[in-house]
Amino acid sequence: MSTLIVRDETPADHAGARRVNEAAFSGRQEADIVEALRSQEAAAMSLVAEDGGEIVGHIMFSPVALQGHVGPPLGLGLAPMAVVPSRQRQGIGSRLVWAGLDRCRALGARFVVVLGHAAYYPRFGFVPASRFGLRCEWDAPDEAFMALELADGALRGPAGRVVRYHPAFGAAGD
C-alpha cells in the first residue's frame, strides 16, 4: 500500500532530492540548478514526494522576470520536476505539479511558465507561452515553452516579451 505524501522540502531532504533529479535527468545539471537556487535563496517553493520514508519525486519553483515589468516578480518558473525512473507513470509527477500550482496560487503568483514536454503539461492548463506574446530567453521550441495564468489577464501585454529565469539556470553545468 502506497503511503505517498507531497510536502515541503526540508534540509534533510536535499540529498534525496538530488538523487531524484540525477536519476530522472541522467546527469547532474538539474540537481546543480536546484542547489544553486537553494544557495542563492532563489527558490520560491520546493516540494518532495515521499513514499515510505524515501524521496521519490521533487519539484521546484523560482521567480521569473517578465521583460518590461517593474517591481517584484509576478510569476514563477516550474523547474525542475523529477520522479525517480522506477516510479514514473504512477501519478507522482502529476501530484507534485497540482500541489505546486495550488501553492503558487496561495503565494500570490499570477502566472507560471515551464519549459518542458508539450504532451505532458497541457493537462494542468499550460498552453504555448506565445499565445500570451511571451518567449523564452533561450532558443526553445514554441510548443515546449508554456505558460499558465493563475490570475485572469495576468499575461496581457505587448507581444515579444521575454521571460528570464534566475541566473542559476544559465550557470549550471559551466
Domain regions of the chain by residue span: 5-171
Amino acid at 98: W
C-alpha cell at 32: 546543480
Mean pLDDT over the full length of the chain:
93
- Angle, alpha carbons 165-38-130 (nearest 5°): 20
Write the pLDDT tens digit of every residue in 17-56: 999 999 999 999 999 999 999 999 999 999 999 999 999 9
How would CATH label the architecture of 5-171? 3-Layer(aba) Sandwich (3.40)
How many other C-beta atoms can be found within 10 angstroms of the C-beta atom of residue 71?
A: 5
| pLDDT value at residue 72 | 65
